[in-house]
């Protein structure tokens, strides 16, 4: 049986302080860029409409409720693993984290801050082209198969998340916010995510045995990182939502920055209206 592991009080306090400092520093550096990043995170037209982040937050709460009541044994771990994949499949919170770090670094935010990362489709096209050339130049089938295996390894589309986290970690070091990068690197285990989503695993005697990666990780360790990952997402989403609620409470707020200002108003029909006087191209 796999016991549910919830974040400790100490872990929660560390994440709370980390996220609070991230949002505060970004807002103090450039409030206009800050609110633009928050609005990108929700990416919604009306506050009456649920955002994808709301759905993920509900899923997190539902999984935690189920695994603490009716669901037991290895199935509770599988639900946690599903949740882990869902969180890292959601790009918005990683985008927001990178944008806030960029603002602290004196840069403009961007709706798609990781757009320069090679996409899965581009990697697939490159892999197919390499294989076509190999078949023309190498006649030994065994050699071709080994090269194909190596190509698959380096062009694995699931490494895109890893690349994003690497970029966040790199930027966090530049702005003396290294704790965020370290935390994300600790929480993201690419082999775990990859083998679970492709059902290449066996659960045996308290360990998650990864078939492709040919290694095992204790269920306790994976439950712990999933709980921390879920809590980190909830805190980030909560801080962003707090800013939207401030606008709703005040009716309208102006956010000033180095490139101009953004005024966001909450209208009677529940929609957000934005009036900007921005010079940066990315807003």
CB 195 within 8 A of CB 213: yes
CA–CA separation, 251 vs 260, rounded Å?
21
The residue count of the chain comes to 283
CB 167 within 8 A of CB 98: yes
Q: Which pLDDT does position 137 carry in this prediction?
A: 65
Q: Which pLDDT does position 175 carry in this prediction?
A: 94
Q: Which pLDDT does position 212 carry in this prediction?
A: 76
Q: Which pLDDT does position 102 carry in this prediction?
A: 96
Q: Which pLDDT does position 208 carry in this prediction?
A: 92
Q: Which pLDDT does position 48 carry in this prediction?
A: 47
Q: Which pLDDT does position 255 carry in this prediction?
A: 92
Q: Which pLDDT does position 236 carry in this prediction?
A: 95
CA–CA separation, 257 vs 160, rounded Å?
32
List of long-range contacts for 108-116, beta carbons under 8 Å, 24+ apart = 108/33, 108/259, 108/280, 108/281, 108/282, 108/283, 109/33, 109/34, 109/36, 109/37, 109/40, 109/282, 109/283, 110/282, 111/40, 111/282, 114/163, 114/164, 114/167
Could you give phi then psi for residue 30, rounded to 5 degrees?
-160, 100
> pTM for this one?
0.79
Q: Which pLDDT does position 64 carry in this prediction?
A: 75
Q: Which pLDDT does position 129 carry in this prediction?
A: 64
Q: Which pLDDT does position 213 carry in this prediction?
A: 73
Spell out, as residue ranges, where the chain has pLDDT lower than 50: 1, 45-48, 157-158, 279, 281, 283
CB 71 within 8 A of CB 83: no
Taking residue 119's Cβ as centre, other Cβ atoms within 10 Å add up to 12
For 35, 85, 203, 249, the CA distances from 42, given in Å and listed in that order, are 11, 20, 37, 18
């Amino acid at each position: 049986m796999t016991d549910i592991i919830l974040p400790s009080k100490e872990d929660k306090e560390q994440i709370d302080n980390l996220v609070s400092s991230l949002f505060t520093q970004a807002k103090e550096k450039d409030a206009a860029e800050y609110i633009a990043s928050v609005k990108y995170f929700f990416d919604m037209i009306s506050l009456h409409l649920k955002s994808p982040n709301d759905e993920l937050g509900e899923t997190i709460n539902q999984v935690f409720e189920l695994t603490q009541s009716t669901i037991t044994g290895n199935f509770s771990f599988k639900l946690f693993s599903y949740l882990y994949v869902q969180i890292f499949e959601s790009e918005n919170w990683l985008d927001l984290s990178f944008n806030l770090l960029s603002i602290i670094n004196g840069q403009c935010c961007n709706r798609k801050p990781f757009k320069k990362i090679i996409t899965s489709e581009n990697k697939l096209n490159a892999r197919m082209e390499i294989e076509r050339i190999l078949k023309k130049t190498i006649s030994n089938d065994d050699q071709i198969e080994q090269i194909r295996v190596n190509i698959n390894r380096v062009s694995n589309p699931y490494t895109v998340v890893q690349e994003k986290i690497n970029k966040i970690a790199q930027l966090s070091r530049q702005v003396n916010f290294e704790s965020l990068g370290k935390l994300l690197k600790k929480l993201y285990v690419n082999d775990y995510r990859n083998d679970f989503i492709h059902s290449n695993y066996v659960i045996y005697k308290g360990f998650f045995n990864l078939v492709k990666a040919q290694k095992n990780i204790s269920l306790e360790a994976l439950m712990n990182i999933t709980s921390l990952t879920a809590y980190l997402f909830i805190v980030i989403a909560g801080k962003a939502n707090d800013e939207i609620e401030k606008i709703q409470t005040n009716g309208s707020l102006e956010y000033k920055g180095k490139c101009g200002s953004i005024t966001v108003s909450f209208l009677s029909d529940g929609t957000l209206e934005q009036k900007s006087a921005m010079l940066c191209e990315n807003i």
